[in-house]
Amino acid sequence: MNNVVEASGLRVVRGKKEVLHGLDFSIRAGEVTGLLGPSGCGKTTLMRALVGVQAKVTGSLTVLGLPAGSAALRPRIGYVTQAASVYDDLTVAENLRFFTRVLGAPMSSVSEAIETVDLVDHKDQVVRDLSGGQRSRVGLAAALLGSPDLLVLDEPTVGLDPVLREQLWGTFRDLAAAGAAVIVSSHVMDEADRCDRLLLMRDGAFLADGSPAEIKQKASADDIEHAFLTLVRGTAR
């Protein structure tokens, strides 16, 4: 399988503090990679580095064969931040049409993205009038426009109804099956089993890297939450 992201010795400094301490990892096409760890462990910084919006990144980081942040990558990466990052005073469809124009993607991607995130009934509603979960789905829809090769999703399922969460994970799986590399961050360990591969993270370093089954086996734990605890105790010792 081909690596969409390859990193070695990836370090990021924010302010005077180093927040990512020399990470080595790769992310493959056709897989959903989960980036799991507690709040503040560096998940967002890592994702921002992949997208190319993080300053003070050192080490080697390539995306689709190009240095992260290259202009040629911008149309090929879909990025969802924790803030919905859409215009509150425009309708769902107006937001997506605008981003589609910026991307230069076909206008048909607007209705496709709206269907994928299940907002067909709300497409002409102003984003300000939507619920929090619906707003974040607009942000997700914006990231799906133009079928990107790498999807970087920062906690996309927080605060969503379980039925919808299930549905969105289905969408992530479909996107991966269609050949995209999908990286999803979460601080909720129970989402771990939905991923093909996990990067468990704590304090800017990886605790484990492997499939959920491998990690559980390595830590001789029944679930990822316990595996995480075992691994943390293991490194502390």
Partner 1 sequence: MSLRRTLAVAGRVLAQIRRDHRTLVMLVVLPTLLMTLLWWMYEESPVPIFDRIGPALLAIFPFIVMFLVTSVTTLRERSSGTLERLLAMPLGKGDFLLGYALAFGLLAAVQSGVAVGVSVGLLGLEISGSVALLVVVAIVDAVLGTALGLLVSAFATTEFQAVQFMPAIVVPQILLCGLLVPRESLPTVLEAISDVLPLSYAVDAMTHLVTSTDTGEVWTDLAVVAGFVVAGLALGSATLRRRTP
Decide if 179 contacts 28 (C-beta within 8 A).
no
User: Please, which residue, 96 or 227, has the CB nearer to partner 1?
Assistant: 96
Least distance from C-beta 85 to partner 1, angstroms?
Answer: 4
User: Please, which residue, 52 or 212, has the CB nearer to partner 1?
Assistant: 52
Least distance from C-beta 195 to partner 1, angstroms?
Answer: 23
User: Please, which residue, 150 or 207, has the CB nearer to partner 1?
Assistant: 150
Pairing label, strands 32-36, 77-80: unpaired
Pairing label, strands 66-67, 57-63: antiparallel
Burial (CB count <10 Å: 0-12, 13-18, 19+), residue 118: middle
Least distance from C-beta 49 to partner 1, angstroms?
Answer: 9
* H-only helix segments in 117-222: 132-144, 162-177, 212-218
User: Please, which residue, 14 or 233, has the CB nearer to partner 1?
Assistant: 14
Least distance from C-beta 180 to partner 1, angstroms?
Answer: 16
Cα–Cα dist 45/164, whole Å: 27
Least distance from C-beta 198 to partner 1, angstroms?
Answer: 25
User: Please, which residue, 71 or 236, has the CB nearer to partner 1?
Assistant: 71
Least distance from C-beta 3 to partner 1, angstroms?
Answer: 21
User: Please, which residue, 85 or 167, has the CB nearer to partner 1?
Assistant: 85
Q: Which residues are at the interface with partner 1 (CB under 8 A)?
A: 14-15, 51-57, 69, 71, 74-75, 77, 79, 81, 83-90, 94, 98-99, 101-104, 126, 142
DSSP per-residue letters across 60-120:
EEEETTEETT-GGGGGGEEEE-SS--S-TTSBHHHHHHHHHHHHT--THHHHHHHHHTT-G
- Residue 122, both tokens: 């709300």
